[in-house]
């Protein structure tokens, strides 16, 4: 298995939200899984989990102060 060592451009939560508003899917490096991401779904900030379920995102303090947000692959 090949490991992706390409550096990713990280952003703050406000930057991540702007990318979501622009139509991108965004994840946190801390989540360590590109199949988990946030996006707009039916007008709400939502999260798609590994099992495919989608729910509204409950934003934590760690989410808001984190600077490890990245646009997901294939966006």
How much is the pLDDT for 1? 46
Within a domain: residue 5?
A: no
Largest CA distance in the chain: 38
Total domains present in the chain: 1
Query: Looking at the domain assignment, is residue 1 inside a domain?
Result: no
Q: What is the DSSP letter of 72?
A: P
pLDDT tens series, the chain, 75 aa = 454 545 578 999 999 999 999 999 999 998 877 789 999 999 999 999 999 999 999 999 999 999 999 998 766
Q: What pLDDT, on the 0 to 100 scale, is given for residue 6?
A: 53
Q: What is the pLDDT of residue 35?
A: 87
What integer pLDDT is reported at residue 74 of this predicted model? Answer: 65
Closest by alpha carbon to 26, among 10, 2, 42? 10
Q: Which helix (H) or strand (E) element contains residue 17?
A: helix 13-21
- Answer yes or no: is 55 within a domain: yes
Range(s) of the domain holding residue 36: 13-71
CB contact at 8 A, 69 and 57: no
């Amino acid at each position: 298995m090949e490991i992706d060592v390409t550096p990713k451009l990280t952003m703050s939560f406000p930057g991540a939200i702007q990318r979501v508003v622009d139509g991108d899917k965004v994840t946190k490096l801390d989540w360590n899984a590109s199949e988990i991401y946030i996006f707009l779904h039916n007008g709400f900030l939502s999260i798609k989990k590994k099992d495919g379920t989608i729910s509204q995102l409950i934003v934590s303090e760690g989410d808001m102060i984190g600077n490890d947000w990245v646009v997901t692959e294939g966006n």
